[in-house]
Amino acid sequence: MVKFYENYFSYDFAWPAVTLAYFLRYPNPYSSHVLASDTLSRHLDPTTGKLTTVRLLLKRGKLPAAVARFLPKIKESYILESSEVDIRNQTMVTETRNLDWEGVISVVENQVYTPSYSSHNNSSDGEKTDVKLTVKISSRVGSNAREKVADAASSGGLWASWTTGSIQKSIEVIGMKRMREGL
Amino acid sequence: MSSSLAPECSEVKERYDQCFIKWYSEKYLRGEAKTDDCKKLFDIYKECLSKAMKAKGIDTMLAEARKNSKDLDMDIGQSR
C-alpha cells in the first residue's frame, strides 16, 4: 500500500541561504537526537552545474525506556538523505528515507526548494524561499500494516508532526509504534 | 559541524566539511564553481569512513536498502 501527503510552506530567507542552512542544519539544539551526519558521496556536474550529495544520518531512537531496555540494539537508526542543488535554475531537491524498518514500512520525504515569486509581476522578491513537501509512505506488508498506520494517523500526533517537515520525528513515531506492537 | 558516526573520522570530516562550506558559499552559490575544490579532503575522509562502515556492518545495510528500494524511487530525480 502507498499513501501520499503533500504540503507547501515558505521560509523568510533567500534561496542561497536556505540551501546553505540545509547542509549545516545538524547539529542544532532542536535536533539533539541526530547524533551524526556523514557525507557518502558528493558530485559536481561541470556541464549542468548541479551538485549532488548523499548523506547518512544517525539518530537516537526515542523508544520508551521500558522498551529500549529489552531491545538495546534498536537504540539508533539510520536515515539516507540525497540532495541535488541546481544553481542555474535556483532549485534544490531533497529526499530523505528511513533505512531501518524499510522492509516493514518505508517513509520517503521529498522537498523542492525554489525562490518565491511574487504573483503580481512574476519576479523573484529575493527574500523568500518556497518549499513543496511530499511524503510517501509505502509498505509491503499489506492491509495489516495499513490499518496500523491508520491508527497512528487517527491519533493526530503523527500527521501533525509532518506539517513542518520533520521527517525524522515521524519515522521515530512509526518506529516506536511498530516496536510496541512487536512486543 | 556535526560529528561522524565513526569518532576516529571526526577530524578528517571536520576538515572536509569546513572546506565544503567555504567552497559552497564562496564559489558554488555565486555560480563560479568549475571543479570540486575539496575532492582531496573528501577522499581522505571517505577512506576513513568506508573502513568504519564496513566494521559496523553499515555498508551491508545500505546495499540491502538500495536493493530493496529498486521498485521504489531510490534515485533522486526519478521521484518527480
Strands A91-98 vs A106-117: parallel, antiparallel or unpaired: antiparallel
- Nearest CB to A20 within list B25, B49, B61: B25
- The one-digit pLDDT tens for each residue of chain A (183 residues) are 788 999 999 999 999 999 999 999 998 888 888 899 999 999 999 999 999 999 999 988 655 555 555 555 556 788 999 999 999 999 999 999 988 766 667 889 999 999 997 655 555 556 899 999 999 988 766 544 444 554 444 444 444 434 434 455 555 555 555 555 544
Interface test mutation site (partner B, options A13, A22, A39, max chain B beta carbons within 10 A): A39
Does the beta-carbon distance from A37 to B2 stay under 8 Å? yes
Interchain CB distance below 8 Å, B2 and A27: yes
Residue of B nearest to A39 (CA): B46
For residue B72, which residues of chain A lie inside 8 Å, CB to CB? Answer: 106, 108, 138
Q: Is B16 on the interface with A (CB under 8 A)?
A: yes
A93 vs B56, residue with greater confidence = A93
DSSP letter string, A55-89:
EEEEEE----HHHHTT-GGGGEEEEEEEEEEETTT
Give me the helix-helix angle, B39-56 and B58-68, nearest 10°.
Answer: 90
CA–CA distance, A104 with A154 (Å, rounded to integer): 20
Residues of A in contact with B34 (CB under 8 A): 46
For residue B60, pLDDT over 70 is answered with yes
Global confidence as pTM: 0.74
Interface probe for A, chosen from B2, B5, B23 (most Cβ of A below 10 Å), is B2
CB contact under 8 A, A93 and B35: no
Tell me, what's the pLDDT at A99?
Answer: 83
Helical (H) or strand (E) element with A44? strand A34-44
Q: What is the ipTM of this complex?
A: 0.85
What pLDDT sits at residue A76?
Answer: 76
pLDDT computed for residue A1 by the predictor: 79
Q: What is the pLDDT of residue A157?
A: 45
* Tens of pLDDT, residues B2-55: 899 999 999 999 999 999 999 999 999 999 999 999 999 999 999 999 999 999
Looking at residue B27, its pLDDT comes to 96
- A16 CB neighbours in chain B (<8 A) are 25, 29
Domain residue ranges of chain B, discontinuous segments joined by +: 7-77
Mutation site for A-interface testing, chosen from B5, B23, B71 by largest number of A Cβ within 10 Å: B5
Residue B41: helix, strand or coil by DSSP? helix
Q: What is the pLDDT of residue B72?
A: 44
Cell of B10: 571526526
Contact A37, A25 (CB under 8 A): no
